Amino acid sequence: MQDQLKLDNFICFAVYTASHALNRVYKPLLETLGLTYPQYLAMVSLWEQDGQTVGGLGEKLFLESSTLTPLLKRLETAGYVRRERSREDERVVVIRLSEEGIRLKEKAIGIPGCIAAASGRDAVDLTRLQAEIVALREALNRSVV
Amino acid sequence: MQDQLKLDNFICFAVYTASHALNRVYKPLLETLGLTYPQYLAMVSLWEQDGQTVGGLGEKLFLESSTLTPLLKRLETAGYVRRERSREDERVVVIRLSEEGIRLKEKAIGIPGCIAAASGRDAVDLTRLQAEIVALREALNRSVV
DNA sequence: CGTTTTTATATCGCGCACGATTTATTATCG
DNA sequence: CGATAATAAATCGTGCGCGATATAAAAACG
């Protein structure tokens, strides 16, 4: 049990460093789109469903408004989205893709394939691993609440 | 192939959100030690091997000096480590645990068990998943270089 | 042996990421 | 209806995390 406190045996360390490794693979690909990695995730979510609220995006991306508000302002400055207060409920801010934001999707379509290639795994294997990691995330989120 | 650009099918998104979920589980545990999560990882590495250089730590933790230098200064301010320039090579900074830093290990010993419990998996299963994620990280790191 | 190159760390600027708080709006309750 | 509570974003302060650059020391070279 000596190795209880060895870094290489930490699932957390594996996830932490894998996350950084993914970021490093993504960075050069996303630079061509003028996006950071979290900005890219927000765009992907908006391509799936346009007109989401800040809170709705936060729930999907597991991010707080304190993270999203400045991020979305940068996306607005970049010209990819518009931020509009809802008329029905003035507390809510709705995020809508601009024309340029919609067009960006075409340039982004190839990225997941690049990542899959870099991972050196086939699609089936990746899907299985991805499901396992999601299950881990869900178990952890349940334990906090 | 419509779902090529769906967030839930992204391995990167799974890892990204799992990493945040782990951080949320760790946070309250680490607060009792007065450490952040990256600081904790640095301490674990030092408990394994005291007297590492900034560069050596960076290689183990996959972090740059621009991240580590301020982090280690904060650990020094907290009284857990000392930063000393090597006499043989004045470019190198060696990090040594203080008495308090050494003692902290006892308080940290139970944390991995808490995380394992929160994950809801047995040790064997966690080890297997951890190895898979490490393999993913290594494949990604190879593809960048 | 002096110049150039390499190496190790530090500094700077930017963008997350979060907890705590603030502000504005809506909902609830007596 | 008016006071209170709840909700949605925004703001603020702190700590990563990295690329680019700076600084200083050591190594390599002619």
Residue A79: give its domain's CATH number: 1.10.10.10
Q: Is residue B3 part of a domain?
A: no
Q: Is residue B1 part of a domain?
A: no
Positions in chain C where some atom is under 7 Å from a protein CB: 7-13, 15-20, 24-27
Cβ-based contacts with strand D at under 7 Å: A 16, 20, 23-24, 27, 53-56, 58, 64-66, 68-70, 72, 83, 89, 91-93; B 36-39, 62-67, 70-71, 74, 88-91
Dump pLDDT digits (tens) for B97-125: 999 999 999 999 999 889 999 998 988 99
Q: What would the two tokens of residue A80 be?
A: 């990819």
pLDDT of residue A145: 65
Which nucleotide lies closest to B20 by the C1' atom and the CA atom? C17
Could you tell me the pLDDT band of residue A31, with boundaries at 50, 70 and 90?
very high
Instruction: Give the residue from B128, B2, B9, B118 showing the smallest Cα distance to A130.
Output: B9
Range(s) of the domain holding residue A71: 40-104
Could you tell me the pLDDT band of residue B69, with boundaries at 50, 70 and 90?
very high
CA of B7 to C1' of D25 (A): 49
Dump pLDDT digits (tens) for A52-86: 999 999 999 999 999 999 999 999 999 999 999 99
Could you give the CA distance from residue B23 to residue B21 in angstroms, rounded to a whole number?
Answer: 5
Asked if B15 and B75 sit in the same domain, the reply is yes
The residues near B15 (Cβ < 8 Å, ≥ 6 apart) are A15, A18, A19, A22, A133, B133, B136
The residues near A20 (Cβ < 8 Å, ≥ 6 apart) are B62
Degrees (nearest 5) of the Cα angle B15, A55, A28? 40
Asked if B55 and B103 sit in the same domain, the reply is yes
Q: What would the two tokens of residue B62 be?
A: 């996959």
Please state the domain count of chain A.
1
Query: Do the chains contact at A140 and B121, CB–CB below 8 Å?
Result: no
Asked if B80 and B25 sit in the same domain, the reply is yes
Could you give the CA distance from residue A11 to residue B127 in angstroms, rounded to a whole number?
Answer: 7
